[in-house]
Structure 1
Amino acid sequence: MLLPRHFRRLVAVAVLVTIFVNWRLLRHTHGPAVADARAQYPLIAKYIEGGKGSGGAWHLPQTWTDASNTPLIDIVTAAQLALNRSSTDPSGHLPHSNIPRIIHQTWKDTRFETWRPKYQASVEKWLRVVEEEDIPYLFWDDAGVAQFMRVFEPELEAEFYGLPSPVERSDVFRVLVCKWIGGVYVDMDTEPLQSPTSWITPTDLIPWTDFKTSKLYHSTKPVNAIVGIEADTNPDTDTYWRMGYFFPIQLTQWAFAFAPHHPALQLFIDRLRETIRLVARDQQTLPESEQQRGTGLDWIDPVNLTGPIAFTDSVRTYLDTKADLRWNALTGLHDDGKSKLVEDVLVLPITGFSPGSARFRSMGSKSVTDSSARLYHHAEGSWRHWSLRVEMGKFCRTAFGKCRDWSKVSNRESWIF
């Protein structure tokens, strides 16, 4: 039996409205249509969509490619050429450093019309810097990461792909690409406030003194690493863990720069492999029914396994060994946020990689227009998923100073509710 005509019309209108709303939502979520995206982001269309070869996209100075006898058929070949030429080119390093003048970014694919609008806008700004200064640029997609692992880290490949989620693999890859190729790594949701060629100034290299011990740090070594502070809190209070941090002074991982084969990067990999080994050992002692529930790594928060905690711990261990550094001396709360060179590592104040956000103002972060601000982080958090348990833990820590060890990410249920 047919429905009444007026009812059929209502159903048809409802279907059309639903289709239109979903189309608008999809367009908003994934950015403009292809034609619009090309017009709005011409540099992405030129360098990323228009890139030739497998594994991602790249831009290298024309003089480098003209002088090369090797066809650039994939991103690993392009990366190897960039590494070789940066070591011989007089302008191949960032000023005052041994850090190759190369920028790395990574995402699962190069279909930029499907990226988040913030990613599109931010990558376009990075490419503007790349084009204006003719800076080598490597954009690694998932296929390029796989190529990289087969060539540079075959012994780590199984462990790499055994990590629980893409976010952990992304964390590890950025470390590995800087270990083998070197250069500047920046997340997709960062945008440049200064070109990386301006990140190190003579002022950043002046001696400084630990305000508590009066120990003088006066390194004359070239900079081999640039890292930035994300959390800068008073270690004598519980502020840092109430805010969800593990260390009172904690480093960000959305941007950093390294010379190839820096020991701090190997410490990160060693720490990860030891964690994997210990978890596998403990997993074998569980009943067979529980062993099948997961790898064991699922119970470790990504921030601890491969994220900022792991990265901070690796740099902290390196500087403790090399310079006997009191880690909390890196705070900028006592000197209005000055950069600090320790051995060959330049530690930027919180404004360096975390300016302009209300979350960081109480920790000394200044405006994006401040001269110490290198880049801005939009904190898109594509890997995070909303979780009632996580939000309750956050409220419990902030409001009551409890629940310190509750999981801070939704895909890790390492506590029982």
Structure 2
Amino acid sequence: MLVPKPLRRVALAALFALLFVGWQLLHHEKQPDFREVRHDYPMLLKYIEGKEGNGGAWHFPQDWPQDSDPPLTIIGAATLALNFTSQPQRQLPHSAIPRIIHQTWKDTRLETWPTTFRESAEKWLRVVDEGELAYMFWDDAGVAQFIRYFEPNLEAEFFALPTKVEQSDVFRVLVCKWIGGVYVDMDTEPLESPMDWISQVDIAPWTDQQTGHTYHSSEPVRAIVGIEADNPPDTDTYWRMGYFYPVQLTQWAFAWAPQHPILTQFIDQIFDTVRKVADRHDGDLNSEPTQLELAYIDPVNVTGPIAFTDSVSSWLGGQADLRWNAVTGLGDGGKSKYVEDVLVLPITGFSPGRGKYGNMGSKPITDPSARLYHHAEGSWRKISISVELGKFCRSAFGLCRDWSKVSHGGFFS
């Protein structure tokens, strides 16, 4: 007896998901003992292990003012950095963005870090070692200190966010809002120093071919964002690959001048959502019903790339009457788009070297427009049969568009 076609498809999808999970588990590499390879990481030993402080580690270039009383905490270092970088000579060329690189991970115990994190952070620190950039590494204690010092009125809401990935999404925005600089994930590595991220070509005038509107700005760059997904808006390609917008931004890297209004708007929207959920449950942020409802919302919708893209696109739409899909690089070979004070890099900027499937115009890592490489380590991801089934269902059959893309806690959920 033949199995009905719909059931065959479901069975095939389930088999694919099981095989994928099995492959993931089998290919989980055992990391070498750090004691045996520590000599491979001289920059980490110098700037992280050798200069660990309260809340993380930090470094300022030698030509920056040296205080006779060096800071003992990362908050003290951040305050100094904010004061130092108010001067143009300590900002990235063509911009008002401070020459600071921010990274964050739960601790400074190098022996516990994933190998990809150690290798990538080592390369960022080589860039720092050239002497023109400051570096701030925030551990979990430093993040807590930061929230308590800079955003005390949001402390309860911040720690009510149900997952570490959501807290990380918010922190990277907050640290750029208050201190400014370049934020990069721990699984990225530099292909160019941030000192070379902005060229005259990037900030040249450009024209929306659909509306005929030309965008030209003489403002210094105050924000650098990069495209993660770039698809024709009149097709189903983008959502079949799991994206919400045809043109969607990434959050694994960006750069900002302090107090940019987009960042304020992003934070306000997030915590407005958190408060509305709590209000439905007697205003208790930490009650079980509040936490369950918050946990049910996909992080990508609340704090992730969907919310981030929405904040950037809506602000630029209001300020410059920008048609968001005009920033695509598909029709012009992948050019940067400068609007108001925001530089939107093409997909190759922060996502070069993508494979044939899902390439979306991404060029090799050797291309001059590639700024960094993202290893897509996904330390926050949990293996979930449900998520993998949804992914297969979307890409293979064009179904399951609204199926959750994030695990809600279980192997099968």
TM-score (normalised: structure 2): 0.89
TM-superposed CA distance for 1:70, in Å, is 4.1
Structure 2 partner of 1:56: 56
Equivalent residue number for residue 385 of structure 1: 382
Quote how far apart the aligned CAs of 1:278 are. Answer: 2.0
Cα deviation code 1:311-348 (max 9, x no counterpart)? 11111111011101100001001100000000000000
Tell me which of 164, 171, 179 is aligned to 2:162. 164
Q: Which residue number in structure 2 is paired with residue 315 of structure 1?
A: 312
- Paired residue type of 1:352: G
Shift in CA distance, 314/292, structure 1 to aligned 2, threshold 3 Å: closer
Taking the aligned partners of 1:149 and 1:373, their CA distance within structure 2 comes to 33
Which of 129, 133, 156 is matched with 2:127 structurally?
A: 129
**Partner residue of 1:77?**
76
- Letter paired with 1:331: T
| Contact persistence 2:62–2:131 (CA under 8 A) | no
Structure 1 residue matching 2:173: 3-state secondary structure: helix
Deviations 1:178-235 (A, max 9, x none): 0000000000000000000000000001110111111111111110000000000000
- Could you say what secondary structure the match of 1:202 adopts? coil
CA distance in 1, matches of 2:355, 2:406: 21
Give CA deviations for 1:276-322 in whole Å, capped at 9, x if unaligned.
Answer: 1222233459xxxx954834111110111111111111111110111
- Please give the alpha-carbon distance, in whole angstroms, between the structure 2 residues aligned to 1:266 and 1:359: 37
Q: Once the 2 structures are TM-superposed, how far is the Cα of residue 359 of structure 1 from its aligned partner?
A: 6.0
Q: Following the alignment from structure 1 to structure 2, what is the Cα–Cα distance between the partners of residues 58 and 350?
A: 30
Q: Aligned partners of 1:379 and 1:125: how far apart in 2?
A: 16
- SS class of match (1:91): helix
Which one of the candidate residues 321, 346, 357 is aligned to 2:343?
Answer: 346
Moved more, 153-162 or 270-279: 270-279
Which residue of structure 2 lines up, in the alignment, with residue 396 of structure 1?
Answer: 393
Which structure 2 residues correspond to residues 11-410 of structure 1 after superposition, within 5 A? 29=30, 31-64=31-64, 66=66, 68-88=67-87, 90-284=88-282, 292=289, 294-358=291-355, 362-410=359-407
Q: Is the 8 A contact 1:283 1:291 kept in 2?
A: no
2:16 is matched with none
Q: Cα 1:161–1:326, aligned 2, differ >3 Å: closer, same or farther?
A: same
Question: For the residues of structure 2 that align with 1:63 and 1:95, how far apart are their CA atoms?
Answer: 17
**More deviation in 192-201 or 385-394?**
385-394
Q: AA paired with 1:197?
A: M
CA–CA separation in structure 2 for the residues paired with 1:134 and 1:92 = 8
Question: CA–CA distance in 2 between the matches of 1:248 and 1:267?
Answer: 22
Residue 174 of structure 1: how far off its partner (Å): 0.2
Give the residue type in structure 2 aligned to 1:363. M
Q: SS where residue 291 of structure 2 aligns? A: coil
Residue deviations 1:27-61 (CA, integer Å, cap 9, x gap) = 954x4334334201011011001114210001112
Deviation at 1:133, TM superposition (A): 3.2
Q: 1:389 to 1:164 in 2, by over 3 A?
A: same
Q: Is the 8 A contact 1:59 1:136 kept in 2?
A: yes
Question: Match for 1:107: what amino acid?
Answer: W
SS for the counterpart of 2:390 is: helix
**Counterpart-to-counterpart distance in 1, 2:184 and 2:261:** 20
AA aligned to 2:80 is L
RMSD after superposition = 2.1
Q: Structure 1 length normalisation: TM-score?
A: 0.88
What amino acid maps onto 2:299 in structure 1?
P
Gaps of 5+ in 1: 1-24
Q: Confirm or deny: 8 A CA contact 1:211 1:334 kept in the other structure.
A: no
Gap change, CA 1:284 and 1:405, over 3 Å in 2? farther
CA distance in 1 between counterparts of 2:357 and 2:294 reads 31
**Inter-CA distance 177–359: structure 2 relative to 1 (3 Å threshold):** farther
**What amino acid is aligned across from residue 79 of structure 2 in structure 1?**
Q
2:347 counterpart letter in structure 1: I
- How many residue pairs end up in the alignment? 384
- Preserved contact between residue 227 and residue 248 of structure 2 (Cα < 8 Å): yes
* DSSP 3-state at the match of 1:244: coil
> What is the one-letter code of the residue matched to 2:129?
E
How high is the sequence identity, in percent, across the aligned residues?
A: 64
Deviation at 1:120, TM superposition (A): 0.6
Larger Rg: 1
* Structure with higher helix content: 1
Using the alignment, how far apart are the partners of 1:278 and 1:60 within structure 2?
A: 41
Residue by residue over 1:365-397, the C-alpha shift from the partner in whole angstroms, topping out at 9 and shown as x without a partner, is: 000000000000000001001111111111111
Note if contact 2:228-2:249 (Cα within 8 Å) is conserved in structure 1.
yes
CA–CA separation in structure 2 for the residues paired with 1:138 and 1:360: 36
- Tell me which amino acid in the other structure corresponds to 1:236: D
Secondary structure at 2:148 match in 1: helix
Q: Relative to structure 1, is the Cα distance of residues 146 and 256 closer, same or farther in structure 2, using a 3 angstrom cutoff?
A: same
